[in-house]
Structure 1
Amino acid sequence: MHLSDNLTATGVSSPTGPVVADWIRQAPKAVLHDHLDGSLRAATIVELARDHGYTGLPTEDPAELAEWFREAANSGSLERYLETFAHTCAVMQTRAALERVAEECVLDMAADGIVYAEIRYAPEQHLEGGLTLDEVVEAVNAGFRAGERQAGGRITVRTLLTGMRHTDRSLEIARLTVAHRDNGVVGFDIAGGEIGNPPARHLPAFQYLKQENCHFTIHAGEAVGAESIHEAVQVCGTERIGHGVRITDDIAEDGTLGRLASYVRDNRIPLEICPTSNLQTGAAKDYASHPVDELRRLGFRVTLNTDGRLVSGTTMGEEFQHLVDTFGYGPEVFEEFTVAAVEAAFLPLPERRRIIEELIRPGYAALAAS
């Protein structure tokens, strides 16, 4: 019997997603995989576009714009999905804009019940207004800290700096990560179109990060199969796998794990699973056939994530609700996912323990007692 059987299933309707149960809204959540430039408020994009003379938006109506992003993302193609970011990045080219977007991101996450988040973005995509890479990082960090203050300590936010797979600046961004890792930056990521851009192309960046004892994760196994995950793990040495749903290519229909799948599971390499995004990019057909439940049952370290809240038209609460509706999960399963996320966070061990023992465990215990 799920704990949720004794909890109310009422909630407030979302204009784009499922009705989220009250207990889900109350549940503490953690996110490891969310892109800043995929999670702006639609109204903010419209305002910033007007302020900065950007005329490329498909509409200036915030509701219509939000719907446009969702429809564009629902193409079934990772490449088409990534095209939507051209509009968000276009309005994130000044210090003030970056600070505002970062602050609002934190506030929106706190309102969603998120107590810990690692938010990623690519500094090289925000230089058109004349900012330097360091100034971009400083602006985003300032926005995150302002958001934390406004949220009253309800959320802790850290940053991952992203290198782009299709450019040659990954080592430069890796060095930037190390330079700012005592100021809220906790790790590095590589992202962008996976097809034709294997992670080993950026091996010098990963080797540098290892030499500097700096954390990193790699997008792999989203648009390309298990070979991409193998390269990220065995050649590049990633600590986590962004998405990673194509690990199922190495799992037989009867649940027998191949050598790679066994290695990932047995070494507890975390998978940053983003269910709704995976449906949009064609990595899964629907929630019922999404491998998240199979991977959990087989013992993989699964974490749940939003990827891009604007682009995917989702929240963490809605991601939880989809899995409740599809697999019948209760609070005990989401506590498992949330603890797994914080355990996999690029934070010092004492900080991870504090968040788990002071925020997550008590939060779920309160749900169980209600």
Structure 2
Amino acid sequence: MTPHTFQFFHGNTLSDLFAQDLAVQGAGDEQFALILNYPATAKWAAYPNTQKYFLQDGSSESTKTSFDKICQKEPWKILAVLGKALPGVVINQPPDLLVQYWREHFDFYGTRLEMMDCSTYLDNLNESDRINQAITLFPFDHLSPEKHAVNSDTHYQLLSKAALVKLGVSCPHYQTYDLNSVSLNQIPLPSQFPYLIKTSHGLSGEGTYIIRDRSDLNYCLEELKKYLKLNLLRTIIVSEFVKYEVNNYCVQFYINRSGNISLIGVTQQLVSSEGNYLGGLIDYTNDLSKFSEMIAAVGQYAHQQGYFGVIGFDVLEDRDGKFYAIDANFQFMGLWQERLCSICNKLNTVYRVKAYSW
């Protein structure tokens, strides 16, 4: 098989990544903007995603992802490395103290913000003559289809955990079930533990259940019933459990409109025995050649579907050195921001490996 050689991204900001694809013009004449926040289904959301593009962000109001995470913490991480060329839609201004920290630690030199009211921002975007298309982390029910920079239906399908087998990479064996056609109690489950049950569009680890015993299964089924009662779930995945794991990676790259790939980096992810994410280790000297075939396959599929932007896929390595893709995220991920920050951080020549968790 012909080896694939990809170049690393050498820019300083997210704007540098997207510059190759977006015809950004002069100030006051922007065509594109980035919506920095995810949608939500909670009652606090002015534009809940409860009509078409369902996501699983908590099975009850008390467990749903909070406003401060979706509209402050996550957007500000992106804002820190956004750059000035690509405007960012912000519904909460970052505190001055945080901006000062960015300036002191990684040469932050400002961004171009589109400040909008959180109760009207999607209507404002739909009616905007200046912003023709919005780059999103997840499609929005209330943002018109023509305003999505990536086709919203396509993006939603790519983000589904049920689409993993279509990527052309080795992955655990799994079965997908449409809950409109089959009830939970009719689904044939593996006879032996452990295995996994996943919802199709779980946000930030929500909706992924490691089933090690009957207690885990009972808890999972109760959670799924809650999602069904809220009418926020259509598809679940029952997957085999990868045994004898020795490494857990997240491989990240950018695919442009022409299908060309720019590498961002790879992280070793730290996960507890319960499957909870603890943080990541980033070695900036990493060689990604062992992932090149997987990168090529995922990138080719994404390009065929009309997607452009950042992609991160999670890979488990077992004791025999075999790789299994277990998730693919066609969106920005937390760890890539840290790599971008380090690229423009003068201290990165000293601190080659960094561990952190958001």
TM-score between the two structures when normalised by the length of structure 1:
0.27
Structure showing greater Rg = 2
More strand by share: 2
TM-score between the two structures when normalised by the length of structure 2:
0.27
More helix by share: 1
